[in-house]
A and B are shown apart, each in its own frame.
Chain A
Amino acid sequence: MNYNLNSPAHTAQKTSTLAALKKLFRFLEAEQRTLILAFLTIMVSSGLNLTGPVIIGYTIDHFIQHHDYQHTLLFCGLLLLVYMTAFGANYLQARIMGGIGQRMLFTLRNAVFGKLQELPVAFFNQNKTGDLISRINNDTDKVNQFFSQYLLQFVSNIFLMVGAGIFLVSIHPSLGGAALVPAAFLLIFTRLISPWVRRKNAANMKSTGSMSAEVQESLNNFKVIIAFNRRDYFRKRFDQVNKENYATAVGAGMATNLFMPVFGVCAQLAQLIVLTYGIYQVANGNFTVGLLISYLAYVNSFYTPIRQISILWANFQVALAGWDRISQILTLQSDLPVLAGASANGHSHTDTVMEFKDVHFSYPDSKPVLHNVSFQLQRGKTYALVGPTGGGKTTTASLIARLYDPTEGEVMLNGKDIRIYEPAERSGRIGFILQEPFLFTGTIRDNILFGNEQYAAYSNEQLAAVIQEAQLESLLARFEGGLDTKVLTTGDSVSLGQKQLIAFIRAVLRRPDLLILDEATANIDTITEQLLEKILQQLPDTTTRVIIAHRLNTIENADEIFFVNGGEVTRAGSLDHAVNMLLHEKRES
């Protein structure tokens, strides 16, 4: 499956604003009741805010013009009352809508991260780390900004605008109609340029993603840049992405900033229309001066929210562009589903733990790595996979652990299709020490217990006892701070060999049925390696071991040796035979 988010297949998809909104608002489903409450408060507060000018206009017309100060004061009191109620409604509205925005962001982030956890290794191999980080951080933040800061204003402004619009028309239909003409033009204008604005912003986010990827890659591998004297190269490459980002940012800014001035012009045009047409109506006796003054205020209360909406609409387009990039991730599906129907239960006691039946495999867009591979692994035996680099050893191991599914053929675990096993059961049965060890920031304890629920609640003493029992204590003793030694994901505080030791302890503590070591001891000295060898031999009789190594001493104790080369797996009769093949077979890597 193609998981590359920047491939044309993924970027070409075009969604309308409405469709995107619909998907986005799915995150609001749990909030239906709160939403209704929010709309109620919005209607109340908008209504009250609109009542203000009515009272003012009425007071001017009926009392101030007739020099009735008594009633003027009375109506001032009424106005005060209205505003105080509006204050309460405004506050409630802000609280409720703000809460909805924050919770929606929370759900959205969880959804993205949850999806990320569902996706297989292939997804991570096909996308750049920096670009993914940029999508999850920058792009959700764009959506976030809109929802936490602007959604409330957006919704209440729309209400204010609609309310004021209805008012305008109901008080004086023809004058109201005239006042709304510029707004109709705005509607068309917005519809026309919004997709373009969104495209411009999406382009900008894409180049921000590339920039982030570039910086991330260079900074994490800074020692290579220094050792090879490529500081200038880093500057040059950065300069290029920086310039690209600048160009797209200016483009996006120009597009986004077009809204405001156009909206401003329309608001002013509306005032002009009301003024001239209104005076004409007053002259004809259809209208009063007092009403005209308050009418001008209504036009303001119609166009002021529109002006705000113009700013918000620009932000909204940016948020939607971010949302498009996020939903690209959300629509991806794992290509490693658990097969329904068949049950993995009813542990069959076959002696064959693992079997490959005519397995073919290739990575997307590249040549086949394995073709027509068949073999069986028996319970309790030790197998070695040897062969030249690039021959397919790691790929074979990855298929055993179901990091990928074969493109053709079947992988069987305990006599059943590996695809029917729940991930928890599968990973409990199959242990895999990866070629490239990885540490989470935290302590050694965090790292050796990572993903191991059995010992999660153990105290350090209890855990030490378990480690002792598994004869791993001498490995742990190599870390000065013991279980509480602090480690970092980046940096050189822990050597590669030490990382491999941690990975080894972690895998052994999980007591898998089948343990794969993919060059897992490559950077460990041979004396320590002998110790690891001893620990491996003392694993329960039922444990099957699969060892990938180049050092012959690590594989000489294997019960059986497979020679992996050019995408084929052949059984070697003996160690001598394997070595001979290593020396003389034609290398296809």
Chain B
Amino acid sequence: MTACSSCSSKPTLHFSTMQTANGKKHASGKKPPKISALIQPYRGLVMLLILLALFANGLTLVLPRLIAYGIDAYGSGHLEIKPILIWFSLTTVFIFIFTYLQNIVQTYASERVARDLRTRLADKVSRQSYARVQEANPARLLTNFTGDIDTVKLFVSQAVASIASSVFTIIGAAILLIHTKWQLALAVLLIIPLITMTFMMVFGRMKALFLKAREVLDWLNKVITESILGAALIRVLNAQQLEYHKFLTANTNARDIGLSIMRLYATLIPVITFIANMAMVTILALGGHFVISGGMSLGDLAAFNSYLSILIFPIILIGIMSNVIAQSSAAYQRVQQVLDMPDAVDAGTIQARLRGDISLQHVQLQYEGKPVLKDISFSVKAGSRTAIIGPTAAGKTQLLHLLSNLSQPNSGSIQYDDHEITAYNRDTLHTQVGLVFQDSILFNMSLQENIAFNDTVTPEAMERAITTAALKDFVDTLPQGLDTVVSERGTSLSGGQKQRIMLARALAIEPKVLLLDDFTARVDNHTEQQILQNLAQYYPDLTLLSVTQKIASIEHYDQIILLMEGEILAAGTHQELMQSSPEYVQIYQSQRSTNHYELQSK
């Protein structure tokens, strides 16, 4: 194991510089985690694995001795074939048992390490804030879950046992060689430093290429992912050729780097084979000399031959494994970076039911240095209805995110019932503030699960939510009803149906405060009216905060806030704003021509 940790240390150092280059620095002075730390909890299994590997390989060394003994015994004329047969067969059987056991333990241990690491990763990710996950980049996190952990797994499934048994085999073979004829042994063992040097030289030059190869792979993945997510757009624009060219560029790069790596590999193996063959020549020349001069038996010469072939393979294996360790260490560090992220702290302790008063004081929010919301202050009374209206990119959605604690303001205070939003227990808040997102987000599961997205939902609450969102008729037409599985991009659902499912999801938790983000955009007027009536009927105490574009449906709201470029331009009732705000009047005018029909539909 000492050999193992020494060969892992160098690549580890190297890959940590790569992480710095990626802009994700470790706290200065803190050492990157060693991959050997990963297997600490599995010490028992790993020890068993190493033990089995050692037994299997130790026994392999016995076989050439038996052969040499047989030949020598025959040469000197007193060969008994039976004991050799028995010993040989016994050894073979035990080698088989140990090797297979070793493989089983190896598979079991490595998969357990991978499974547990994935669970830890999922647990950690699940405790992060929305902003942190966006920052960490979902695509990269997906790679952490799949590719990176698969690479980490190689450390256990390949490196540990190979290195332990290789070191053991090399030492064992070396002792036997020295024991047989030390002069010849020293000459033969010279290949170890020679082969090590070759590996170091080649892998030293390969590291930079491996880094590049990883970058290109990320690039390829990005092109593939976007071509899947944007499939409809690409087909509408007939831009398949363009996408193909994007891919071709990335793929050509990948091929060229692959070829450079291959060229280095192409020198590596022949050089090593050549060095090993030189040892063969040495055995013949020097060993022949010893046999002729009577310093060595012919059987010993044969044994030397066999030991050499036993010796070569583990040396090559260690070389290859040092590369595997370097790669899995780098992957482990990437995973560890995620595991090292601090949990989103939930300092809030208040678990009271909300009344529904909302108050914002001087709230400021920036995104990448640019102000999104500037000095926002307003208050909402419990049970009242407030609309937020304003042009595209005014900061409306961000405001709702702040109110549901998905993100936090840079300064200012947000209060529910006279307590800071941060003082509330996170769970308490999320089960009382329902948010209907602007974009329809459905999970690949049954309608039932999509709507009852929180396990505290009662059947009555569910029923009420479905009725209010005007989904009942739709659900009834489905052959499998609520058990119908809907898909991510579900073609079978229209935009409006998806949005109503989103509403039902928010209502099913029986919120005290409901935040609607442009909810009516994809719902026809008639359905919208019906839903608003249902809301008033079934959820009379609800505090409603609705982002919308349509004045007609909010004219009678208690408060209308006009938001533009992150600032509140005006606030008041419809009548007040019609008097005081020219901008509001302008928006009203832009919609006036339709008011005739809107009125009709009430």
Known contacts A117-B240, A390-B474, A583 near B601 by CB under 8 Å: yes
Residues of B within 8 A of A250 (CB): 107-108, 111
A426 at the interface (CB under 8 A from B): yes
B171 at the interface (CB under 8 A from A): no
* Chain B proximity mask over A521-540: 1 for CB below 8 Å, otherwise 0: 01111111110000000000
Contact check, A117 vs B243: say whether CB atoms are below 8 A apart. Answer: yes
B301 at the interface (CB under 8 A from A): yes
Contact check, A440 vs B454: say whether CB atoms are below 8 A apart. Answer: no
A561 at the interface (CB under 8 A from B): no
Residues of B within 8 A of A275 (CB): 67, 70, 84, 88
Known contacts A133-B224, A219-B133, A441-B222, A261 near B496 by CB under 8 Å: no
Bound Cα distance A101, B274 (Å): 24
Other contacts beyond A56-B280, A91-B270, A125-B489: 12, CB < 8 A: A76-B288, A99-B259, A224-B443, A238-B118, A245-B115, A257-B106, A258-B103, A496-B439, A497-B393, A498-B392, A510-B237, A526-B549
Bound Cα distance A519, B439 (Å): 13
Bound Cα distance A103, B227 (Å): 23
Interface residues of B in 469-498 (CB under 8 A from A): 473-474, 477, 487-497
A155 at the interface (CB under 8 A from B): no
Contact check, A390 vs B285: say whether CB atoms are below 8 A apart. Answer: no
B532 at the interface (CB under 8 A from A): no
Contact check, B96 vs A530: say whether CB atoms are below 8 A apart. Answer: no
Tell me which of A95, A222, A279, A525 contacts B130 (CB under 8 A).
A222
- Name which of A27-35, A169-177, A183-191, A226-234 contacts chain B: A226-234
Tell me which of B103, B138, B281 contacts A220 (CB under 8 A).
B138
Q: A86 CB to closest chain B CB, in angstroms?
A: 7
A52 at the interface (CB under 8 A from B): yes
Residues of A within 8 A of B240 (CB): 117-118, 423
Contact check, B247 vs A110: say whether CB atoms are below 8 A apart. Answer: yes
Contact check, A276 vs B262: say whether CB atoms are below 8 A apart. Answer: no
Residues of B within 8 A of A106 (CB): 251-252, 254-255, 258
Q: Name the interface size band of chain A.
A: 35 or more
What count of chain B residues pass the 8 Å CB interface test?
175
Interface residues of A in 82-132 (CB under 8 A from B): 83-84, 86-87, 90-91, 94-95, 98-99, 101-103, 105-106, 109-110, 113-114, 116-118, 120-126, 128-130, 132
Tell me which of A390, A434, A438, A480 contacts B494 (CB under 8 A).
A390
Contact check, A388 vs B527: say whether CB atoms are below 8 A apart. Answer: yes
Interface residues of B in 551-600 (CB under 8 A from A): 586-587, 590-591, 593-594, 597-598, 600
Tell me which of A64, A282, A501, A582 contacts B526 (CB under 8 A).
A582
The 5 closest A-B pairs by CB, nearest first: A389-B496, A451-B239, A253-B107, A497-B392, A451-B237
Residues of B within 8 A of A136 (CB): 224
Grouping DSSP codes into helix (H, G, I), strand (E, B) and loop, the A interface class, with mixed when no group exceeds half, is helix
Bound Cα distance A121, B520 (Å): 27
Q: A244 CB to closest chain B CB, in angstroms?
A: 10
- Name which of B2-10, B21-29, B40-48, B228-236 contacts chain A: B228-236
20 inter-chain pairs at a CB distance below 8 angstroms, sorted by A residue, are A76-B281, A98-B266, A109-B251, A110-B244, A116-B227, A137-B221, A138-B146, A217-B444, A228-B506, A250-B111, A254-B104, A265-B95, A389-B522, A423-B238, A424-B238, A431-B236, A438-B230, A523-B392, A526-B587, A528-B392
Residues of B within 8 A of A346 (CB): none
* Chain B proximity mask over A257-280: 1 for CB below 8 Å, otherwise 0: 110111011001101100110010
Bound Cα distance A526, B586 (Å): 10
Contact check, B309 vs A304: say whether CB atoms are below 8 A apart. Answer: yes
Contact check, A229 vs B427: say whether CB atoms are below 8 A apart. Answer: yes
Known contacts A271-B67, A551-B594, A389 near B495 by CB under 8 Å: yes
- Name which of A16-24, A65-73, A348-356 contacts chain B: A65-73
A347 at the interface (CB under 8 A from B): no
Bound Cα distance A110, B245 (Å): 10
Bound Cα distance A364, B367 (Å): 43
Residues of A within 8 A of B492 (CB): 363, 366
Q: B467 CB to closest chain A CB, in angstroms?
A: 15
A401 at the interface (CB under 8 A from B): yes
Bound Cα distance A232, B96 (Å): 45
Which residue of chain B is the closest to A112 with respect to CB atoms? B224
Which residue of chain A is the closest to B453 with respect to CB atoms? A228
A556 at the interface (CB under 8 A from B): yes
* Chain A proximity mask over B263-307: 1 for CB below 8 Å, otherwise 0: 101110111011001101100110011011000001001100110
Interface residues of B in 108-122 (CB under 8 A from A): 108, 110-112, 114-115, 118-119, 122
Bound Cα distance A401, B233 (Å): 11
Residues of A within 8 A of B99 (CB): 260-261, 264
Q: A369 CB to closest chain B CB, in angstroms?
A: 8
* Chain B proximity mask over A233-244: 1 for CB below 8 Å, otherwise 0: 111001100110
Tell me which of B107, B426, B493, B587 contacts A527 (CB under 8 A).
B587
Contact check, A215 vs B145: say whether CB atoms are below 8 A apart. Answer: yes
B460 at the interface (CB under 8 A from A): no
* Chain B proximity mask over A377-416: 1 for CB below 8 Å, otherwise 0: 0000000001111110110000001010000000000000
